[in-house]
Amino acid sequence: MKIRLFVVFILAFIAMGSCENGNGSGKSIDSGMDPFIDELLDRMTLEEKIGQLNLVSVGFDVTGPRVSQQVEEKIANGQVGGVFNSYTTVAVRKLQELAVNESRLGIPLIFGFDVVHGHRTVFPVPLGLAATWDPEAIEETARIAALEASLEGLNWTFSPMVDIARDPRWGRICEGSGEDAWYGSLVARAMVRGYQGEDLSGPHTVMACVKHFALYGAAEAGRDYNNVDMSLRRMREVYLPPYRAAVEEGAGSVMTSFNDISGIPASANRWLLTDLLRKEWGFTGFVVTDYTTLEELIPFGVAADKKEAARLALEAGVDMDMVSEVLVSHTGELVEEGILKEERVDAACRRILEAKYRLGLFDDPFRYVKGKESGEIELSPGHREYARQMARKSMILLKNDHHTLPLDEQSSIALIGPLVYSRRDVQGNWRGGGRNRDAVTVEEGVRSMAGEKARILTAQGANITDDTLMLFKLNAHGGEIDYHDPATLLREALGVASRADVIVAVVGESQGMSGESASRSGIGIPGSQKTLLKALKKTGKPLVIVLMNGRPLTLEWEQAHADAILETWFAGTEAGNAIADVLFGAYNPSGKLTVTFPRNVGQIPLYYNHHNIGRPYAGDILDKFKSQYLDAPNDPLYPFGYGLSYTTFSMGDPVLGTTRLVEGDTLSVSVEVQNTGPVPGEEVVQLYVQDLVASVTRPVKELKGFKRILLDPGESETVTFTLRADDLRFYNRDMDFVTEPGDFKIFTGPDSRNVKEAIFTLVRE
């Protein structure tokens, strides 16, 4: 080991030894960090400081339009601060050795990857995880992901994605928690805690990166990378709270979004990155761009060239440049010409060095690469079992006429559909280090559960899509979709269906049909599969639809004609086993939607907490001059919070502890819930509030509480919520965050549509 590296280690050891608080979450600063970073910065040349701002991509995955070149040479020259898309101890060690042993100061690299819903153990996609309505369980999935990722050399994850999304045409809706800011904030906090733990320098932690800052989920027309335009009120009320929650929880880094905000791209937006994020919210971590967004300032039309893009980004508050290498190429010129002060480079470099310090990399650059020499870890049985639990907990029973589900174990079952055999699709997009060989298919899960009892017959039935343009695009972006003669597939499926008692059709999207750069103008089940479903319906056999998808779908035909519909999302490594658990009744489904399912795309955007308007539709079809469609209802197919069970529940009226809430006091809201059905089941009791008269228009209802309860048949439980005046705050006409005295309505129920009401008054004394 070279002398310069030894000096760095000694300085780090002294600094860490003097720390009174080793909290590396970002909530506080280590007392010994500043002297160490000061000394290191003093020794760095301008070029070395700029090198720390450079994040390159190399390795196992391609997550953008191009990959970095000559990476090893740049690392040895001190021109790289971090690497992403490389993992396993073997790959990471090789690159870290270059940085530590070949660069002048031996500053270690940070290693990032999109560990979005698991690493080797793949959990349901985040929209599915959110459907569990269990933030503690979601936190545990992040903890497991951090453990597995850290064992393969990773110390930084580009997660959580906390973008609120109200347009299901947007493919990346699957990566977030849905449409509600209050619930999304709970999930954001849970995931940051799961990744980072109590101390980033502790074992098996990774630094979180909150994305995409900001408003990315509001892309116009649901088209990825598109423009965003909204009022400051909507930003504050709906889109910004989850980012702020993650920052307050101590997230170590924030990633900029692809879109513009008030006409200024996020990566060049000083109001966003400095005034709001740092000055107002107190963020002390570092800001990294998304893939090549700095060079994209040129087609945006706000930068004439890459040099100007570098200036705009640094002046706005960007600290690290992902892949475009705009900063490493042009920042030196800007400083030398007096256009940019070196102090701004120092500030950006400092934040990245501080992150590495908190991760313990100056103490031991190789602390994340001391795992198996083979480089790959294997799944633990405990992690697989937790993935199975979370997968079945995420599933939502959308329809179940005539008790079609659970399936009769003694029956003959036709398992038909293009997703029956797939190992890749069940894992969804952003599967991290997930491997096809580890995933359980639907066929495998159903056969394993049925054993010798049921007779299982299978057929593909249809292609994922017969749209040749879509197939070309999917395969061009890493898809593995084969195409077969549709007539032959359908004929085989009908033959199988004729010999069965019940048909289970596994249909929906391939994993590449949702996620980044996967917007859809139509969000129904693809035509090839709809043809299959209609043919299966004509057999007269009971039809169960098992959906696999990463977004809400338009399902009017399916709701009208299927006997049962089960939403399974992309359920991860244990998808097949979890789906079988639910289909056969080994697990009673309890998931609830965190995003509205529209009837058709013409209703989009459609979300439960829309504001009051002057001419609301009151249900009278003869009243022409109301806010309504001529050709469709206003209400969704499935509302926010919706989900059925194999049992039934009754809920009483909400009972208030008082009808007069004084600021500073609390209000209790109680509701009695009873399992009125034949089997044990879980229900998610939900609490909503409406401000009836305010200085600005307010939502018709807002989620303010929920509780999961498990009840045996006939058992009752009284669920109690507590409300405070602070829960009723909002942005008034002056954009001050306040409470206003007045009347409020309470709603309780199993979802946002089927509710019972009570009224209380907020007063000041």
As its CATH architecture, domain 382-594 has 3-Layer(aba) Sandwich (3.40)
Distance CA 411, CA 173 (A): 37
* The pLDDT value given to residue 68: 67
CB-CB contact of 316 with 269 (8 Å) = yes
φ, ψ of residue 123 in degrees (nearest 5):
-90, 175
Q: pLDDT class for 372, splitting at 50, 70, 90?
A: low
Q: Is the pLDDT of residue 751 over 70?
A: yes
The tens digit of pLDDT for each residue in 594-636 reads 999 999 999 999 999 999 999 998 777 678 899 999 999 999 9
Report, as an integer, the average pLDDT of 639-660: 98
Q: Is the pLDDT of residue 403 over 60?
A: yes
CATH 2.60.40.10 fits domain 649-763: yes
Report, as an integer, the average pLDDT of 753-763: 98
Omega into 212 within 30° of 0, i.e. cis? Answer: yes
Percentage of the residues of the chain whose pLDDT score is greater than 90: 88
Distance CA 267, CA 273 (A): 8
Which one of 3.40.50.300, 3.40.50.360, 3.20.20.300, 3.40.50.720 gives the CATH number of domain 3-115+154-358?
A: 3.20.20.300
In the chain, % helix, strand, coil (3-state, to 5) comes to 35, 20, 45
Q: Is the pLDDT of residue 204 over 50?
A: yes
Lowest mean pLDDT among 76-80, 237-241, 284-288, 373-377: 373-377
CB neighbours (10 Å) of residue 214? 28
φ, ψ of residue 213 in degrees (nearest 5):
-90, 105
Q: pLDDT class for 374, splitting at 50, 70, 90?
A: low
The sheet that has 412-416: what strands, in order across it? 396-400, 564-567, 543-548, 502-508, 412-416, 455-459
CB contact set of 509 (below 8 Å; sequence gap of 6+): 425, 464, 526, 548, 549, 550, 551
* The pLDDT value given to residue 60: 64
Report, as an integer, the average pLDDT of 727-742: 97
* The pLDDT value given to residue 373: 62
CB-CB contact of 493 with 416 (8 Å) = yes
Q: pLDDT class for 70, splitting at 50, 70, 90?
A: confident
Report, as an integer, the average pLDDT of 364-378: 82
Report, as an integer, the average pLDDT of 262-285: 98
In the chain, domain spans? 3-115+154-358, 382-594, 649-763
Report, as an integer, the average pLDDT of 757-763: 98
* The pLDDT value given to residue 13: 41
> Average pLDDT of the chain?
93
Burial of 534 (0-12, 13-18, 19+ CB in 10 A): exposed
Report, as an integer, the average pLDDT of 738-746: 97
Tokens 């509710």, residue located: 755
Q: pLDDT class for 370, splitting at 50, 70, 90?
A: confident
* The pLDDT value given to residue 22: 34
CB-CB contact of 686 with 756 (8 Å) = no
Percentage of the residues of the chain whose pLDDT score is greater than 70: 94
* The pLDDT value given to residue 481: 84
Give the DSSP H or E segment for 91.
helix 89-102
Which residues are the active-site residues? 290
Report, as an integer, the average pLDDT of 748-765: 96
CB-CB contact of 48 with 78 (8 Å) = yes
CB contact set of 535 (below 8 Å; sequence gap of 6+): 490, 493, 494
CA separation, residue 30 to residues 25, 145, 567 (Å): 10, 26, 46
| Helix-helix angle 135-150:381-394, to 10 degrees | 140
The tens digit of pLDDT for each residue in 654-673 reads 999 999 999 999 999 999 99
* The pLDDT value given to residue 375: 67
φ, ψ of residue 559 in degrees (nearest 5):
-65, -35
Number of helices followed by number of strands (H, E) in the chain: 22, 27
φ, ψ of residue 703 in degrees (nearest 5):
-65, 130
Among the listed residues 232, 205, 214, 207, the one whose alpha carbon sits nearest the alpha carbon of residue 284? 207
* The pLDDT value given to residue 17: 39
The tens digit of pLDDT for each residue in 683-700 reads 999 999 999 999 999 999
Among the listed residues 215, 214, 208, the one whose alpha carbon sits nearest the alpha carbon of residue 250? 208
CB neighbours (10 Å) of residue 273? 24
Report, as an integer, the average pLDDT of 394-415: 97
Lowest mean pLDDT among 62-71, 411-420, 664-673: 62-71
The tens digit of pLDDT for each residue in 112-140 reads 999 999 999 999 999 999 999 999 999 99
Q: What predicted TM-score, i.e. pTM, was given to this entire model?
A: 0.94
Among the listed residues 480, 447, 481, the one whose alpha carbon sits nearest the alpha carbon of residue 467? 481
* The pLDDT value given to residue 3: 36
CB-CB contact of 177 with 126 (8 Å) = yes
| Helix-helix angle 342-358:306-316, to 10 degrees | 60
* The pLDDT value given to residue 7: 42
Q: pLDDT class for 1, splitting at 50, 70, 90?
A: very low
Q: pLDDT class for 205, splitting at 50, 70, 90?
A: very high
* The pLDDT value given to residue 25: 38
